Amino acid sequence: MQTQLLADGMERLEQRMFRQFSPADQADERLVQKGLFLYRQGTVYEMGFDANNQMLKAKVRDVHGVSVRISLNPDKGSSCSCPEEPWCRHRMAVFFKFYQQNASVSQWIQTWRSQKQDAAVRAQKSPDAWRRLAETTAALMPLEKLQEDPYLMEHYILAGYRKFQEQAPVEKEWTPLYMLYVSFYYYNYLGEKVDQDAPDIMRGLETIMEAMQKGVYDLTVYAHPFSFDPFFKELKADTAKLLERKDPLSFSIYGMMWFQLFTKRRDRELEAERLAEIEQSDETQLAQTIFALLRNDDDFEEQFAKSSELAVPHAVQWLEWLLSEDEIDRSVRVLKAMQKKLDLYLARMENHSDRRSFALWLIHKIEGEQLRLHVPDVTIKLYEKLLPYSARHLGAVMLDAGKYKDWVELVHWIDFTPEELEAAGLKKLMERKPEFAAPLLHQWVESLIQKKQRDTYKKAVRYLKKLKKIYQGLNEEPRFELYLEQLIDRYRRLRAFREECERGKLIHGKD
């Protein structure tokens, strides 16, 4: 136990030492050299470890003998009987003496000094330096290994990001640009080398896009200094090349950059002109649609109609980006244009799970920003195309729009369970149009009783109470009492059902 405590504590101390001392600092370099000299001269003796206080103890022979105490608790400090503060060569020597019990001091020195090179890279703020870092890191990816074990892709991607974070600029305002830039060229390099048809490979590449998305978002929060301009110039030029890749993820990145990062009107005009002049493809045609939307052109819908149904998932992303900027009118235009291609897009999916996942993804975008409140009729038409996956959400929109009869027809068509019925808005229907809710409750009461289980009897009683409340509100309580009397008589042999009615105080028990 004590040995493990010491090992864990030394690991924490080692990390603190890496953070505290820099090989680029001459004073730190001299301090490490002096401590290393004392350690190698064998001047450290009478070593001990106080496990209760997590404290290293030792003495060091120098010009004068000194006593050293180093806490392994990061919240506590250290002490030495010499007058130097806050850290001295004696404490450094004691650290090395304890460290060598489980690891190589020479290796520690080598690793520590390698930070000097990393620090030099961190100090470089140039497009070429950052691009080299991204491409060098990507080049280390074992592509042959990934062909055999594609599930390792995300592991290697994240390992690359640990390296990026280690070499990130010290200045916080540069970090978002740095992470976006290295992520862009990390993706650019790997996207050409790996098989994007493999799901595990795609998940890894999507992780890179998520990092880019975060960088873009963070960059939009602050004004950009002029020193960022060379980086944006490179990114604009190489973003244009993404269309040549002809894969959905590259096109998504292209769209993200033009929707969220390159927002200057002149830049967008130049890119639109470039697209009009180059050889046309499905990608360039859809890209032109992006700029028609960004300009809010009258012919956006016409241009979108020229694209294939594969434009639908891209349109969902446009919807998300527009809604993040509260661009409701343009979001509605996208919604209307997209729903005309929705049937064809869903038909391409042979897998029920894929259709369901897409439907819920689209619904989440619409519901999350409450777009349906602005255009209920458009939303209803779209949700009808997404049935049966959208049934509960469609029911809620219908009720909000006052389409009570349509809601009841939907419920009958979908064949909801009682629980689903409540989730789809039964309570709201009871409040607004109780006469439409009553037939549904009658139907469910009968269905639940016929299952002849104690739990279903309890649920039937719960619905009978709701029915009673509806009839009371309609001033037709005698009608409910007659219905209940006939129901009890019809199922008089079901003793358990009668007991639940008595427990629910719908009827009185026999004297």
pLDDT the model gives residue 368 = 67
Residue 332 predicted with pLDDT over 50: yes
> Across all residues in the chain, what is the average pLDDT?
85
**pLDDT tens, position by position, 275-320:** 989 888 889 999 999 999 999 999 899 999 988 899 999 999 998 8
pLDDT digits (tens, 9 = 90+) for 91-131: 999 999 999 988 888 888 888 877 655 555 555 788 998 99
Closest residue by Cα to residue 290 from 318, 262, 329, 323: 318
Start-to-end CA distance of the chain, whole Å, equals 72
The encoded tokens of residue 197 equal: 């048809």
- For residue 255, the tally of other CB atoms under 10 A from its CB is 20
Mean pLDDT of 419-438: 71
The arrangement of strands across the sheet holding 66-71 comes to 44-50, 55-60, 66-71, 78-80
Q: Give the H/E segment covering residue 345.
A: helix 342-347
pLDDT of residue 511: 40
Q: Write the CB contacts of 207 (distance below 8 Å, at least 6 apart in sequence).
A: 154, 157, 158
CA 405 – CA 367 distance, rounded (Å): 23
Burial class (CB in 10 A: 0-12, 13-18, 19+), 205: buried
Q: What is the pLDDT of residues 355-389, one digit of tens each?
A: 888 888 888 888 765 677 778 888 888 888 888 88
**How confident is residue 17, by pLDDT bands cut at 50, 70 and 90?**
confident
Q: Which residues are CB-contacts of 282 (< 8 A; sequence separation ≥ 6)?
A: 246, 307, 308, 310
